Structure 1
Amino acid sequence: MSETILEIKELKKSFGDNPILQGLSLEIKKGEVVVILGKLLSS
């Protein structure tokens, strides 16, 4: 079983009234490579 180096549970983030993250959870183990992709929005 690999060692967990980062664990996030139910992360929420907003800028003003604009929610950016809603309930993000993840666990990264030693040796894993993780990429998070999302939409780039501009006003």
Structure 2
Amino acid sequence: MTFIQTPGLPGVFYRRLSSMLRRYLFEIVLAVLILCGLIAAAFYL
């Protein structure tokens, strides 16, 4: 694979990454909250 610096590439990559992050942000936050809740419950019980 050859990586050629083109002016449009970082913008397209950033837009694709931000769109993917917005799509999966709720699931990621929910998973982190569930994991933190399980760890806290394990410590408190």
Q: Pick the TM interval, shorter chain.
A: under 0.3
TM-score (norm 2): 0.23
TM-score normalised according to structure 1 size: 0.24
Q: If each structure's strand is expressed as a fraction of its own residues, which one has the higher value?
A: 1
